[in-house]
Copies of this chain bind each other. A is one copy, B any other.
């Protein structure tokens, strides 16, 4: 049987463990030399395929590929670029086939979230609609945890661990200071449409009163008076209040709090940041001294506090993608199937890309407490396994020794192609 080359690329927002999936793909492909020759990684996702910017992963050292397991970010570059449908933009697909044919690529592994699996799905259709034989398997990834059919999305567990640890630490800090200084701390986390990340902060709470006291979810319309009452009550009861807010929290009229009219000196609307808006509300109405933090990229790059479970799942899914592909499966995405909550047990399953693409998994309503300000025990049972285990990177001189690949490109053989 002839072996063909494989294309692998990273897409959408990066995560602390997307490179672990890359390691899973690359290291597993090496074990199937009868089917897969080389793995070419796209520089900046699917754009790398379109522009023939292909990185020869076989030229990286074994050490560096192994080091991807503990290196955050997208080692090959990622992109925010969605393929149009074949009907809308046939030239793009013809270009992909041209590149694949030229470089003998017959396996396509695309590592991304819902939008990216839409791209995987479209590429998988090439075999049928355009007659080019390609085996296409998606590799799930997204810190948003909104992919369907999988227990969780790789990347989420590590972000969840980061926000839980961070709010635990910050809540202890504000408690220390609360007698004569700061009474309220507000931490903003990602989550434009779903409150999964905010919910994970609740894992820091325990019977000792640490962790977040209030969580604001995008799923719950912001009720300013109820919120202020809750903050006031919390400060009165325990002396301080620790708050986690999703960037996507909205008023009942659908307007984001982050867009609520904050202007700079020139009268221009200011860039995002819901934490300062919430903080100002508290300051103006309750006159408490407040502090606020915005985690932004720190939360999704924080491999130093990555979840071991998350890393293992990310690797296993990359590995499974290759194993499915060499077994002849096409147009699927490996998934995580939970078989037990505690201790957490999971195995690899699969879903059809056609069903996965563009479907957003919402947080169940019964994961949020009745008052809308916290998570339920059911939510905790679901989330807790995902942050378990530590998996520290190696350090030198106090700094993590994350790898930066050589990224040797193969020689281009085709004329340039313009991305639009």
Interface residues of A (CB under 8 A from B): 10, 13-14, 43-45, 47, 71-75, 77-81, 161, 164-166, 168-170, 172-181, 185, 187, 203-204, 206, 208, 210, 260-266, 268, 270-273, 275-277, 279-280, 283-284, 290-298, 300-305, 307, 309, 384, 387-390, 392, 395, 397-400, 402, 404
Contact = CB atoms under 8 A, between A and B. Distances in A.
A172 B402 contact: yes
Contacts of A208: 404
Contacts of A210: 402, 404
B169 A73 contact: yes
Closest 4 CB pairs of A and B: A261-B265, A387-B398, A73-B172, A74-B176
A294 B294 contact: yes
User: Which among A45, A169, A208 has the greatest number of chain B C-beta atoms within 10 A?
Assistant: A169
B280 A271 contact: yes
A266 B168 CA distance: 33
A313 to B, nearest CB: 14
Nearest to A305: B304
How many copies the complex holds: the figure is 2
Contact of A164 (B71, B81, B280, B398): B398
A212 B169 CA distance: 25
A136 to B, nearest CB: 22
A179 B44 contact: yes
Given A161-B398, A203-B398, A387-B398, A170 B268 contact: no
Nearest to A387: B398
A187 B295 CA distance: 9
A164 B399 contact: yes
30 contacts: A44-B179, A47-B180, A73-B172, A74-B176, A77-B176, A80-B181, A165-B399, A166-B298, A169-B297, A169-B298, A169-B303, A170-B297, A170-B298, A173-B300, A208-B404, A262-B263, A262-B265, A263-B263, A268-B284, A270-B280, A271-B279, A273-B292, A275-B294, A293-B297, A298-B298, A304-B305, A305-B305, A384-B398, A387-B397, A387-B399
